[in-house]
Structure 1
Amino acid sequence: MAGLYIHIPFCASRCVYCGFYSTTQLELSQRYVDALCSEMQSRSSEQDVSTVYLGGGTPSQLSFQQLEQLFIYIYKVYRVDPLAEVTMECNPDDVTQQFVESLAELPVNRVSMGVQTFDDRRLHFLCRRHRAGQIAPAVDALRSSGIGNISIDLMYGFPNETLSEWHRDVTEALSLGVEHISAYALQYEEGTALYRMLESGEVSEIDEELERQMYFDLIDRLASAGYEHYEISNFAQAGYRSHHNSNYWNQTPYIGLGAAAHSFDGVDRQWNVSSISEYIKGIESGSPRVDYERLDEATHYNDLVMTALRTCDGLSLQGLRPQQRDYCLRMAQKYLSCGWLQQTDDHLKLTRDGLFVSDMIMAELMMV
């Protein structure tokens, strides 16, 4: 079975750190939804789908009628597993009474909410629309609508943030009792407003040692609260791993619909144009703007290293070709020696100390 991802690029405003393709052209939302439905029909091969994920952008910016239209087409075009995990991203300020009443009429059974921080000053810095006081009521409202699987996103490593401030954010997150928590260090991606602020000297990056302390504080606090640390940035209560995101890390095929969305069938990658106007024009004219890439052996190996090592299960050496296995173990030797990698049951796994420098380790293990 494949995972189905639908990109909803609309945002009421842009956050300073966001590197995902998004737009504030909300007037195009209906044409875009119509184009998504057309893309579904044109690309369908009656595939079996085990997970559905509406991401963005901000999917909760769509109207109930538009969301209903999308789900009608999803279930008409694809064979969706009756037990499928169906996730929708939203912002706390979008969780109104009307929203939760609408949500209860849709097949959504999991919500991923962009919390980021419980500090209003930092929310303002990020240009987030919600305030800290809206987060807990939003969780309560989602519960009342029947959503029993809630994930929140957190962010750490803000300019001038202290360890005690981050500690308070984690405490607030734990008080919500959500099933899943994703936490990421603030990134300064080229092309974002935040990157320009860094370049101009308006802000500076946090000290690396402090960021490391924040990460390990997160790991320890969530472990003590019963969360499984199953991927570098993801933590779940028992039975609540994100099935959709696990598809990516396990190299399961996935279908990506919408502007800038990527797809993978096990052999080829394809991705749609990163422009809502060009995407809509291409779909409406019958000539979609799509690029393709056939994965060679080296690229497939590199993808395995990059995804599998992120998980607590690690990289299966048995799944590699003999030449790849020899190369991987040779490159991994210095990290096995220093304790940043461990080899267990024919799997390579990052150790606790290796987690914080995972990008460097994975880059070293890849084939150039």
Structure 2
Amino acid sequence: MRLLNSGWFEVALSVLLATLAVILDLSSGHTATATLDVTACVVAASTARWPRAGAATLGAVLAAYLLVPREWVTIGEYAALIPILSTGMRDATRLRALISVAYLIILTLIQHHDYPERGALFLLAGLAWAVLIAVCWILGTMFSTLTRTQAAAQREALTRQRLTVARDLHDTVARTLTHLSLTAKTARETGDPADLEAVIDGVHHVANELRWVMSVLSDPSQPSTATGPATAQLQATVDALQTTLTKHGFPTTVTLEGNGLDNIPQPIQQALNSVLAEAAANIERHATRHRPCAILGVIDPAEVQFLVINERDPSQTTAGTRMGLAGMREILAPHSGKIETRQEDTRWTLHVIVPLIRERPGSSSSTTTYTSEPA
């Protein structure tokens, strides 16, 4: 691709053809045809820089072959295939179609000029040229299609990377700044020096997260996911979220029913850590302070469910991107989990469902059962 963009592709093919033409022409003793063949190759090479002008000039050079005595052997006519191939590779379809028709007519007339005694058989030679041109069309189209596919894949990869960075910023810096803002409000209300120390620690934490983001952007080999609550035990995460929410003015009640959080497999616990942390961050951003919130969990052998309930603060309504909800769904997708949301007046409910027994891929009856690791 770099060779094509630099224009050296046409030059390389033209040099090869010109070298072969000079060897054949000089071996047959026809210096004039060597000059004409080299001229055709030079003009064909110029189509890389001046596609239209070079193609038109090459057509005139090809027409000059009609003036060459028919007993002279020339191969410069093959230079016509170079711009046909290169325009196809560059996806210049209109120019390729135009010069293909023009060159085919000229090349067919050259065959009639060289073999007039064969009558209409020169059309068969023209058909042979048409086959060569068609081959160049196929090769050029295949190359341009591959190039477009690669470019689309690169754009998609870049989009995914930007989305990953945006979600990491959302889950790290934005979330920490929300905590920091609420901690600062609490410090202003209470005047407690411990809260001021928490604000200072939060500022340092944000600085570290920003440095992490900069390292990811500058070095793609760095891990693209920040470490956080996903690596902790789910029970510890729930307890920490309850303490933090209550401290920030969102009195939170936690109720768990069933087999207990420790019986949930570790991969699902890690996913739920991230989901519940994002749910708590949404409470801090959008819920009404000093109004009760609830985290309700039900764990049974078949599935685990969580309900996160809070009252939305109308004054905190924003035109958000819903990136948090999209991120939750993406985290739970490998575990066949799903998220449902509901709003009734000011009450907001987030419903998280993750199955612990899943059907195996490709089977309608067999199932896969998660088993927890021994403590």
TM-score by length of 1: 0.21
Which is higher, the Rg of structure 1 or of structure 2? 2
Task: Give the structure with the larger helix fraction.
Answer: 2
TM-score by length of 2: 0.21
Task: Give the structure with the larger strand fraction.
Answer: 1
**More relative contact order in 1 or in 2 (CA 8 Å, sep 6+)?**
1
